[in-house]
Amino acid sequence: GYITMLGAKGLKSATEIAVLNANYIQSSLSDVMTVAFEGTCMHEALFDDRFLKDTGVDTLDFAKAMIDEGYHPMTMYFPLVVHGAMLIEPTESESKGELDRFILTMRSLAERAKAGEAESFKQAPVYAPMRRLDETKAARNPVLRWTPPVEE
């Protein structure tokens, strides 16, 4: 329905904006985060974890800290050929102001990691209803049915 609503001209325009947004993010963060591949990107900005080397912070920690900043974490560890991949895919509907706010947040997180604030990253997310989960346990023993808490 969305593609039909846009039509050929609208779809081309939306695609161009998505590509522009991804390149804007990549360019704006390339001095504090490590771009996985040099050159312009398409609709996704791909970073790797080399900028976190020797900080005590890993890709998962960085993603969890994004939750406390009000952002859904980027796609992590994909593509598999990029170690510690962080794939950011802004859509065509994001305004420049929102992109700038996101970029400032990402810059701040990268700078905090490099400044030695590893412990705060290991605790994240602090402000979310669900705290840090044991993701390996959850993947190996998924709970597929919600049970309401027993009231005393």
pLDDT along the chain (152 residues), means of 10: 95 96 98 97 96 97 96 93 95 94 98 97 93 87 90 82
SS (H, E, C) the chain: CHHHHHHHHHHHHHHHHHHHHHHHHHHHHCCCCEECCCCCCCCCEEEEHHHHCCCCCCHHHHHHHHHHCCCCCCEECCCCCCCCCEEECCCCCCCHHHHHHHHHHHHHHHHHHHCCCHHHHHHCCCCCCCCCCCHHHHHHCCCCCCCCCCCC
pLDDT of residue 89: 95
- State the pTM of this model: 0.86
